[in-house]
Amino acid sequence: MEKVYLTKLAPNCGCAAKVGPGTLAGVLCGLPKFQDPHLLVGTETSDDAAVYKISDEIAMIQTLDFFTPVADDPYDFGQIAAANALSDVYAMGGEPKTALNIVAFPKDMDTAILGEILKGGADKVLEAGAVLAGGHTIQDDTPKYGLSVTGFVHPDKFWKNYGAQTGDKLILTKPLGAGIINTAIKADLVSERAREAVLKSMKTLNKYACEILKKYTIHACTDVTGFGLGGHGTEMAEGSNKTLVIDTQALPVLPDVEEYASMGLIPGGAYRNREFAAKTGYISTAELWREDLVFDPQTSGGLLAAVPAEEAEEILKELKELLLPCAVIGEVIDREEHTLLIR
């Protein structure tokens, strides 16, 4: 297999390549509104996936996600892209059941590289307990990979990205800084410990955190991906008509992120995420690099859950037993003028 540095083939890596939340919202508002009594979650709340009721016991979760290479190794890239796509089902409290590959691949590139990408994805689908059942490929100068995933959940028990209640604690199940470290990787400025840490985090399925959270009361949940903690937090706050208070001192952070952020290695998506949050309003008194971290676009990031304060400590204890670098990172308060208070 020829040696190719996949991250050099795309101007933006992973979820940092996503269209900004503000731009996307402007486009989606012009589309027709679909009405169906069985459609429990559609596009209205910018949730992680669609939910469609099949019966009194089963609802179908449907999602898809794909992106440009976020790792140079093709097998790593496949694992990360698959973990990221599967995450939307876990963010709704569901179980993935089937997956289809989505592939764009250069016509002159060694097909052994494609084989490794697909193997990485297949291994993550297998780990998730789902079935890989086909897919679709096209030729493209820039490699892209992801999955369309279908999952199941009880129609009365799925999680939404809104519904947070005053007094809730906010739990984040993975460390932040993936976008900043991936920018350092593209610039050939990354340390080996930071590279290894971000790869491990991005390849970790949110399955394990989801299984623990399902034992408790979850008022709202979303996964933190391309819109960053600030963007996805804004959506949760807006949908819940609350304000989220984020304690940046409590955020779990990947190695060397402060150094890279201070060097200006901030992905472009972070600025789009900040602009989106600014439209509904946020106040920050945090250090600049920590504020940048809040808006840093994550690839295959963790779950952000709003939980009752009395259950937060026990949830955190169980998550840490799985060696997940999680933390209580803030709280929910009554709606103020701003949707986010970043401290």
Question: Which residues belong to the annotated binding site?
Answer: 18, 45-48, 65, 88, 135-137, 223
Nearest-angstrom CA–CA distance, 151 and 8: 34
- Catalytically active residues, by annotation: 15
Known binding residues for ATP: 18, 45-47, 65, 88, 135-137
Give 311: exposed, middle or buried? Use CB within 10 Å, 0-12, 13-18, 19+: middle
Q: Is 253 helix (H, G, I), strand (E, B) or coil?
A: strand
Q: Which residue has the tokens 């490929």?
A: 137
Q: Which residue has the tokens 């590279």?
A: 195
Q: Write out the two tokens for 329.
A: 């990172």
Asked if 238 contacts 281 with a C-beta cutoff of 8 angstroms, the reply is: no
When computed from its CA atoms, the radius of gyration of the chain, rounded to whole angstroms, is: 19
Q: Write out the two tokens for 41.
A: 């979650």
Q: Are strands 131-139 and 95-105 parallel, antiparallel or unpaired?
A: parallel
**CA 272 distance to own-chain centroid:** 16
Known binding residues for Mg(2+): 48, 88, 223
Nearest-angstrom CA–CA distance, 172 and 234: 15
Nearest-angstrom CA–CA distance, 296 and 294: 6
Ordered DSSP codes for 181-226: HHHHHHTT---HHHHHHHHHHHHS-THHHHHHHTTS--SEEEE--T
Q: Which amino acid is at 210?
A: C
